[in-house]
Structure 1
Amino acid sequence: MSDPAGNLTAGDPQGGPLRSDASPTGEPPVGEPRIGDEAAGSGRASAGGEVVGAAPASTYRVQFTPDFTFADAEAVVDYLDALGVGALYASPVLEAVPGSTHGYDVVDPTRAREELGGESGRVALHKALKRAGLGFVLDIVPNHMAVGHDDVNQWWADVLRHGRGSRYAKYFDIDWDSGPLLLPFAADEESEEEHEHYRLAFWRRGNTELNYRRFFDITTLAAVRVEDPEVFDATHGEVLRWVAAGEVTGLRVDHPDGLADPGGYARRLRERAGVWLVVEKILGADERLPVSWPVDGTTGYDALREVGGLFVDPAGEAAFTALAEELGVPTDFAAVEHECRDLVARTILRAEVRRIAALVRDADREEAERAVAEVLVNFPVYRSYLPEGLDAWTAAVRAATSPAARELDRQVRAEPHGELATRVQQTSGMVVAKGTEDTAFYRYTRFVALNEVGGAPDRFGVPPEEFHARAAAREAGSPTTMTALSTHDTKRSEDVRARLAVLAELPGEFAESVRRWTAAHPIGEPSLTMLAWQSLVGAWPITADRMRAYLDKAAKESKVRTTWVDHDEAFEAAVAAWPEQVLSGPVAAEVASFVERIVVPGWSNALGQKLVQLTAPGVPDVYQGSELWDLSLVDPDNRRPVDYEVRRRLLDRLDDGWLPDVDDSGAAKLLVVQRALRLRRDRPELFRGYRPLEASGRTAPHVVAFERTDLIAVATRLPVGLANAGGWGDAVLPLPPGEWTDVLTSRPADPSLAGMLDRYPVALLVRGDR
């Protein structure tokens, strides 16, 4: 909608010039955080109307480990400052299981982790960030804590000693009415032990008899009842102390779908911590965050799907479907997804299903279990947030065939905040995540660039019109939500997906290659075969060890021939031998030759999607190391050490005026990241509003462009098709009035796309007459 002056307001994809009534801001004083939202310096209003802290201009995610500590992060603060980063975005830093490489297994939320440098190291890092003017965004884990048959977690150890009488008994979500706490940590049945307050049981019993809530199917991560105010205070007190001291300027909430009342939790956290707040909520393609949540937005998987999809050619879908069918890979995603969700509900998450079924009154227990499983399997989204999300709940119930589903439905509707409804809600996301992301995505391997967290593998690409509409909606409704392209949880890095997107433009060539390569090196399982060749091409060059570890995980996650608990040793041995056989044989040269054919258009896609993410509405995150090319696969491959000295040297050269070629060094990507992040930090007033720009000419569909305030982002899309058309020809991008300069090259903007994009496949234009 336009305002009375005819200016385009946020969220309107049509209309006249963008509003430009904000004055530029200068450099902040030393020690003051640099901020990039439109309420710079004064905070902004949350959904509840209270004034909350300003959003960072951008974030840079780092994974803290015993090998990358607070001191190591402190040593790269100057580099992050030079890159233009607004805030360091940290993985969890509270005391965790010794040796943990991720920090999500917290054992003591009352202190900073000693292996990272403890409290003194944390404070030293804060001081370095403050001197540089960077914020500190912290990942917190309210849903669970690490537990075991030991005393690493003192709260849990006290529960084992005192049972229901422990002061910490109510901290954990334990069903005490079912008898002693069952600990499925024994190596075999002969090692089972009976104790006063717990039973040490064979580990296999955890998936069927567990009487405490856990994180997914991980029995060593016990759920915490943060809905209890006392438990909330105990688990959040230290972090809130850091917030109050100004040492934490933003929070990222892990796995809110596991909480009893995510909205209530968000409100309590917002009341106690008036800082930027995002939640790791995985949204469906057409789903939005509940409007009642007082948060800034998500951690960006929704934006990832939209941005990445822009660079996928839908014309390649039929050929990929045909190849999948030829190899024996399933091509009905809905059927695969349903089958995989049903599998996890009946096996690895059966304990959760049984606990819910026991709460269904007036129904046969076995029939109630079937009804609960059917409803969970058929959820159209991760969680429906009753009573607001009644449509999703209704859809799931209607798909169930068990007569007990009617009684389940009646009770949930009668008490939408009762224990039964709450446990269904907490478990639905577990079934969806384990069934879809961690199983179906490894079986439905038709085109794996789409098989991403928050992705929609059956939607082959995102049309520019859809992208623009969603970007405008984001600017209007959640302009300070996070956006991301790579995370510690993505199935493959942004640059791997960018290269794989090229295959959608060359489906015939890839299909012929896969047929030939598979004949020489069969794996014996169709879905894994299709995944293996795409992964090899996407991450090339890759060592046999990295490829072996990836395929081992993929084979077990798919649960087709082998699993994490029930092994087919012969098949696993064949999979383990495959990478070395391929890389040491003649097929390796063919793969290298094929990759050489697609690497340059892959770089074009990578630069395009990065520029779009960095300049579109939202707060962009850069995952550690991904400012250069990063050809990583799923964790732990994507958590390898980052060489910051290489990045520092390249950044110094950029500051000396070097314009790098688009080549193996990745310096061109560093240039794009640096220029965009510095603009966000130093000139936040440029990043308001949103308006699509349309090019004219025969090759106009190969460019995506949009205008913010006095800023235009331009990116090449579908580069193979563009090359086949002979280049840009006479295509033109009409520019709004003014003198526009490409900040990547420092040249005046040329409206002809052949001139504008002759140096790089992207352009970042800034108007200099205002």
Structure 2
Amino acid sequence: MQLHPGWTLADAAGLTGYLDRLGAGAVYTSPLLAAGAGSTHGYDVVDPTRVSPALGGDRARRALVARLRELGMGIVVDIVPNHMSVADAAANPWWWDVLRLGRESRYACCFDVDWSRGPILLPVLADEGDDGAAALDELTVADGCLCYGDRRFPLAPDSHAAGDDPRTVHARQHYRLVSWRRGAAELTYRRFFDVSDLAAVRVEDPAVFTAAHGEILRWARAGELDGVRVDHPDGLSDPGGYARRLRAAFGGWIVLEKILAAGESLPASWPVAGTTGYDALREVCGVFIDPDGAEPLTELAASLGVRTDVAEVERECRRHVTDRLLAAEVDRIAALLPGTGRERAREAVAALLAAFDVYRSYLPEGEEAWARAVRRARRCRPGVADTLARIDAAVRADPGGEPAHRIQQTSGMVAAKGGEDTALYRCTRFIALNEVGGAPERFGVPVAEFHARAAEREASWPAAMTTLSTHDTKRSEDVRARLAAIAELPGEFAAAARRWTQRLGLPEPALNLLAWQTLVGAWPISAARLRGYLEKAAREAKLRTSWLDPDPEFEAEVRAWPERVLIDRELSEDVAAFVARIRRPGWSNSLGQKLVQLTAPGVPDVYQGSELWDFSLVDPDNRRPVDYPQREVFLERLETGWLPPVDATGAVKMHVVRQALHLRRRRALTGYRPLPAVGAAAGHLLAFARGEGRHGDGNPVAVTVATRLPIGLAAGGGWRDTVLPLPSGPGAWTDLLTGRTLAPERTDGFTAPRAADLLDRYPVALLVRE
């Protein structure tokens, strides 16, 4: 649940009965600590010592916990150890004290400030091309504060006397207000990515850790907290050390919002349950994508002028990040390298930060990832090979030192900003692949690889979170599922995209192709929603406009585009006709990936509202209010035995979610056994069995069955002779989705139902043997 002033802890408490009936085991909330005024997400914490009053305060939190305990449910809370909001200095008591007293503040140790560079630079001034000089004339002193517009800043003791000029008073402070444009290159405190309003917190200091986690751990000691989701651990100085310190203080479930590259795993020494599931998202969604669509969709992208060399684009984007967005962080690292010219050191650091094939290494365990990055940096920038050699030697000699820590925590920022927030908006060949933790250069996931990864998760990280939609995903699971159908009709989509582009294309190729896919994936969509999404996408791509340097003329054209498309009757009808072609295959994919996620190894996370079809796009679109009254109506009907049709209401998805979650309540699913189908259409059926018991090595008690590539299946004549041999053993198999029991075909209990019979009503089946 995404809590905010319009959907509070009291609202969450009122929904617990519905969630319990749906089958949820716990409520998982966005951050609960006091955040910036009007915060819609809670990740901009201003005071970690109290529950947000805007959410109802601690009384409302305790009431929610009490209600959950009555129902036998747990509570998991998102926590933000990496940073705090400093957008409104007066709202953050720790930051206010640091600005007032400088290094003498008791909270000076809490923030990652480079005190050697003088006063703290605050990039808040308007800049009309004069580096903020004119804005300084707008400073005033009032009520014991330095004021700029509606922003207030503290005055150091004895730094102001009656009649003093505000600019003179400003020069006496422990901070300097500077142009907003200087934040990227000259900031003197570490940020969350490139967001100057979020200052990094030094939780590697035991005293700071204790202060920042005191309220959260108080809940735990009171038995009012079952698990935590740790936001952005890669930004921490020492993620492994943080995980160990948190585990020592908290015995509950811990998952980390850690993005893993394909094939990467968490360090084995970290005492956590696993990640928040973007690795599982890539695998579950990928197995429903037809790899044969790669070549024609690549040809389409190239013909429209969209780049398809993902690796090269990402390298360029990462260098853009090191050279512009995170220049201040790069300079700070370069300054730690004595005996090397600043420019050469800076170039070497930038090359190294851009060279990681994972988000970051974790020395000493991550030595292989570190070594690969050094080798790649040398190949890309041979002119600084000697400087890279010195950096490598220094870091290896002291993996716990400041250079090692800063390079590693900054490489994750470069990877995220260069990949997720830039390259994924430039390489728009097939945006179903362009997801957080995704691998857009790999067109789908083979079935064998999916099974191998699921078995590995069960063996190594059985309590890791799995997910399909989050507040950070670029598009919801159901949008991706519909887009997956495009991979089965690449020729038809290519013809349509060329036709639409010729009629009313956007002038920037990557945004143009992304826009048509988005329109298809989220159809029907309002002009307002699409307008907001495309404006954000255009700025993230940083091709014709950006957050730092917006192009008003280009953005005006982008903002006008959605309405122009939607009022063009012939064009919109053409788009609607194509959507109609893939709507049902998209539903099939949605049900398949949802059932697989809910029953595969791991702890499944269901994002708010996604128990019905949800065609949301990236934040803030995916934080829209959820129509829970409608969902309760459907749930009441399902509880009476209603078997909903596969239609636009999405009730069938709730049916799948409810049955899978209640099964997980009744049976402790363990183990993992792939179940191959036999017959002409065997490749279109994905199935696996789960057992019960300590190792899951007894007779399987549940089988998941899902349809893959439904368009190709229909084109090939359907299931024909395909059968699914089920694990033998005592008891008959019953499909929880239809209520039908499968009669054994032989006296020894062998059952191999025909796929055409098993999946005649729904494209998925959930078989249990009680």
Q: Normalising by structure 2, what TM-score?
A: 0.91
Q: Which amino acid aligns with 2:613?
A: W
- For residues 273-309 of structure 1, give each alpha carbon's deviation from its aligned partner in whole angstroms, at most 9, with x where no partner exists: 0001100000000100000100000000000000000
Tell me what 1:631 maps to: 615
Tell me what 2:280 maps to: 303
Aligned length: 705
Tell me what 2:44 maps to: 105
Give the Cα–Cα distance (whole angstroms) in 2 for the partners of residues 573 and 736 of structure 1. Answer: 60
Q: Which amino acid aligns with 1:183?
A: L
Tell me what 2:165 maps to: none
Which of 742, 750, 753 aligns to 1:751? It is: 753
Is residue 210 of structure 2 the alignment partner of residue 233 of structure 1?
Answer: yes
Is residue 768 of structure 2 the alignment partner of residue 766 of structure 1?
Answer: yes
8 Å contact from structure 1 (residues 151, 157) kept in 2: yes
Tell me what 1:179 maps to: 118
- For residues 409-456 of structure 1, give each alpha carbon's deviation from its aligned partner in whole angstroms, at most 9, with x where no partner exists: 121111111001100011000000000000000000000000000000
Which of 332, 353, 361 aligns to 1:384? It is: 361
2:606 alignment partner, SS class: strand
* 1:149 CA displacement: 5.5
- For residues 77-109 of structure 1, give each alpha carbon's deviation from its aligned partner in whole angstroms, at most 9, with x where no partner exists: 000000000000000000000100010000000
8 Å contact from structure 1 (residues 172, 225) kept in 2: yes
8 Å contact from structure 2 (residues 759, 765) kept in 1: yes
- For residues 487-514 of structure 1, give each alpha carbon's deviation from its aligned partner in whole angstroms, at most 9, with x where no partner exists: 0000000000000000000000000000
8 Å contact from structure 2 (residues 356, 372) kept in 1: yes
Tell me what 2:539 maps to: 556
Written as runs of structure 1 = structure 2, the 5 A alignment for 1:423-462 is 423-462=406-445
* 1:153 CA displacement: 0.1
Tell me what 1:46 maps to: none
1:714 alignment partner, SS class: strand
- For residues 50-84 of structure 1, give each alpha carbon's deviation from its aligned partner in whole angstroms, at most 9, with x where no partner exists: xxxxxxxxxxxx00010000110011000000000
Tell me what 1:671 maps to: 655
Tell me what 1:421 maps to: 404
8 Å contact from structure 1 (residues 88, 134) kept in 2: yes
Give the Cα–Cα distance (whole angstroms) in 2 for the partners of residues 315 and 205 of structure 1. Answer: 48
Written as runs of structure 1 = structure 2, the 5 A alignment for 1:510-589 is 510-585=493-568, 586-589=570-573
Tell me what 2:20 maps to: 81
1:698 alignment partner, SS class: coil
1:64 alignment partner, SS class: coil
* 1:386 CA displacement: 1.1
- For residues 254-278 of structure 1, give each alpha carbon's deviation from its aligned partner in whole angstroms, at most 9, with x where no partner exists: 0000111111111111011000110
Q: Which amino acid aligns with 2:334?
A: A
Tell me what 1:486 maps to: 469
Which of 94, 97, 104 aligns to 1:155? It is: 94
Written as runs of structure 1 = structure 2, the 5 A alignment for 1:206-245 is 206-245=183-222
Tell me what 2:704 maps to: 713
Q: Which amino acid aligns with 1:171?
A: C
Tell me what 1:734 maps to: 725
Give the Cα–Cα distance (whole angstroms) in 2 for the partners of residues 194 and 767 of structure 1. Answer: 76
Give the Cα–Cα distance (whole angstroms) in 2 for the partners of residues 281 and 331 of structure 1. Answer: 26
Tell me what 2:340 maps to: 363
8 Å contact from structure 1 (residues 362, 407) kept in 2: no
Q: Which amino acid aligns with 1:217?
A: D
Tell me what 1:698 maps to: 680
Tell me what 2:140 maps to: none
8 Å contact from structure 2 (residues 462, 602) kept in 1: yes
Give the Cα–Cα distance (whole angstroms) in 2 for the partners of residues 730 and 392 of structure 1. Answer: 48
Give the Cα–Cα distance (whole angstroms) in 2 for the partners of residues 627 and 195 of structure 1. Answer: 57
- Structure 1 149/756 Cα, relative in aligned 2: closer, same or farther at 3 Å? closer
Q: Which amino acid aligns with 1:447?
A: F
Give the Cα–Cα distance (whole angstroms) in 2 for the partners of residues 194 and 303 of structure 1. Answer: 53
Give the Cα–Cα distance (whole angstroms) in 2 for the partners of residues 178 and 438 of structure 1. Answer: 30
* 1:398 CA displacement: 1.7
Is residue 81 of structure 2 the alignment partner of residue 142 of structure 1?
Answer: yes
1:199 alignment partner, SS class: strand
8 Å contact from structure 2 (residues 675, 688) kept in 1: yes
Is residue 325 of structure 2 the alignment partner of residue 348 of structure 1?
Answer: yes
* 1:361 CA displacement: 1.7
> Which segments of 5 or more consecutive residues in structure 1 lack a partner in the other structure?
1-61
Give the Cα–Cα distance (whole angstroms) in 1 for the partners of residues 405 and 641 of structure 2. Answer: 58
Give the Cα–Cα distance (whole angstroms) in 2 for the partners of residues 234 and 730 of structure 1. Answer: 65
| Higher mean C-alpha displacement, 388-397 vs 618-627 | 388-397
Tell me what 2:260 maps to: 283
Over the aligned positions, Cα root-mean-square deviation in angstroms equals 0.8
* 1:617 CA displacement: 0.2
- For residues 187-229 of structure 1, give each alpha carbon's deviation from its aligned partner in whole angstroms, at most 9, with x where no partner exists: 2312245342111111111101111111000001000011111
Tell me what 1:50 maps to: none
Which of 592, 595, 619 aligns to 1:608? It is: 592
* 1:326 CA displacement: 0.1
Greater CA radius of gyration, 1 or 2? Answer: 2
Tell me what 2:745 maps to: none
8 Å contact from structure 1 (residues 528, 554) kept in 2: yes
Give the Cα–Cα distance (whole angstroms) in 2 for the partners of residues 578 and 181 of structure 1. Answer: 43
Q: Normalising by structure 1, what TM-score?
A: 0.91
8 Å contact from structure 2 (residues 36, 88) kept in 1: no
* 1:682 CA displacement: 2.3
Give the Cα–Cα distance (whole angstroms) in 1 for the partners of residues 478 and 658 of structure 2. Answer: 17
Residue identity (%): 64
8 Å contact from structure 1 (residues 740, 767) kept in 2: yes
8 Å contact from structure 2 (residues 279, 437) kept in 1: yes
Give the Cα–Cα distance (whole angstroms) in 2 for the partners of residues 187 and 141 of structure 1. Answer: 30
Q: Which amino acid aligns with 1:154?
A: P
Give the Cα–Cα distance (whole angstroms) in 2 for the partners of residues 391 and 365 of structure 1. Answer: 28
- For residues 670-723 of structure 1, give each alpha carbon's deviation from its aligned partner in whole angstroms, at most 9, with x where no partner exists: 000000001111222xx1110000111101100000000110000000000011
Give the Cα–Cα distance (whole angstroms) in 1 for the partners of residues 238 and 2 of structure 2. Answer: 28
Give the Cα–Cα distance (whole angstroms) in 2 for the partners of residues 364 and 413 of structure 1. Answer: 21
Q: Which amino acid aligns with 2:542?
A: K
Q: Which amino acid aligns with 1:494?
A: E
Give the Cα–Cα distance (whole angstroms) in 2 for the partners of residues 464 and 149 of structure 1. Answer: 50
- For residues 238-266 of structure 1, give each alpha carbon's deviation from its aligned partner in whole angstroms, at most 9, with x where no partner exists: 10010111111001100000111111111
> Which segments of 5 or more consecutive residues in structure 2 lack a partner in the other structure?
137-169, 692-700, 743-751
Give the Cα–Cα distance (whole angstroms) in 2 for the partners of residues 149 and 604 of structure 1. Answer: 47
